[in-house]
């Protein structure tokens, strides 16, 4: 039984890469979660189905944060769904969901980003500027190719190989043109020795730049800063959702967390009875 499950685990990970378009980092996370879980979960063949008893595993991870537990169980759940698609009937026992508080990455103030850019070299400036003015995920930045860049737009290949076009603002365009002249990359925007810079290399560069002004900043915080700036500037949430590559506007609402004052301001503008005296 274990050999069969291991074979399908490898096929599942390949499915995530080939058909779902997941990043190498995400696939690594799934692999680590499944490697750990499948060593502890009780897997029993019963009549016409395979039973995955998750209780021993839930006990094993019970002291972790609820968000971490939820992610680990989600990997097992996804694997179970894949097995069902492969016509292998699987029943998950003790598969109750874990409630996770919705947390948000703290956006970085514009003044801090400007200050960091003043202490950055050309490549570092472009990396941070592209993330801040286009809202890319770090995986999308690593995979960004020259043939996806035009003077006015950048075509981004996001999750699930979904494409979206993001406008290039004038200040970004100037840095981009200078960078292309000086570095002359061949295929990917950010390269080293003919290979694209990895996500970890890009994270290291971002950490290094912001450390110069005594801040610890992640790529995801820059993406959040992009979204928050657009919404606070009055951009429609439907447009922001499309620019971020979200499949649902509900994700954008959680991600951006509009302040109550801005919600009230938008409501006053939108409702026909606002401003009408009684």
Q: Which residues are catalytic?
A: 137, 159, 220, 223, 246, 255
Angstrom distance (rounded) from CA 7 to CA 25: 21
**Which of 158, 159, 124, 136 has its CA nearest to residue 227?**
136
Structure tokens at 131: 């993330």
8 A C-beta contact, residue 256 and residue 240:
yes
* HSE value, Cβ hemisphere, 13 Å, CA-based, for 90: 23
8 A C-beta contact, residue 122 and residue 130:
no
The answer for 11, left when phi > 0, alpha when psi is -120 to 50, beta otherwise, is alpha
């Amino acid at each position: 039984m274990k050999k069969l499950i291991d074979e399908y685990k490898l096929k599942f990970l390949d499915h995530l890469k080939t058909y779902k378009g997941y990043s190498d980092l995400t696939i690594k996370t799934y692999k680590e979660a499944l490697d750990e879980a499948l060593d502890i979960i009780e897997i029993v063949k019963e009549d016409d189905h395979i039973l995955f008893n998750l209780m021993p595993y839930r006990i094993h991870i019970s002291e972790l944060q609820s968000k971490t537990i939820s992610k680990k169980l989600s990997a097992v759940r996804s694997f179970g769904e894949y097995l069902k698609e492969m016509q292998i009937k699987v029943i998950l026992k003790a598969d109750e969901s874990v409630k996770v508080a919705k947390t948000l990455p703290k956006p970085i103030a514009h003044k801090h980003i400007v200050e960091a850019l003043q202490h950055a070299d050309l490549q570092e400036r472009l990396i941070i500027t592209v993330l801040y003015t286009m809202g890319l995920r770090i995986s999308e930045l690593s995979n960004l190719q020259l043939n996806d860049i035009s003077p006015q737009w950048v075509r981004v290949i996001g999750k699930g190989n979904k494409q979206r076009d993001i406008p290039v603002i004038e200040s970004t365009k100037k840095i981009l043109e200078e960078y292309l002249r000086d570095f002359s990359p061949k295929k990917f925007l950010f390269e080293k020795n003919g290979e694209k810079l990895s996500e970890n290399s890009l994270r290291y560069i971002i950490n290094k730049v912001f450390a110069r002004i005594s801040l610890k900043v992640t790529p995801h915080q820059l993406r959040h800063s992009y979204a928050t700036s657009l919404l606070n500037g009055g951009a429609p949430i439907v447009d922001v959702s499309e620019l971020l590559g979200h499949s649902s506007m509900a994700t954008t609402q959680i991600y951006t967390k509009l302040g109550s004052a801005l919600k009230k301001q938008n409501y006053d503008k939108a409702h026909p009875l606002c401003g009408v005296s009684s």
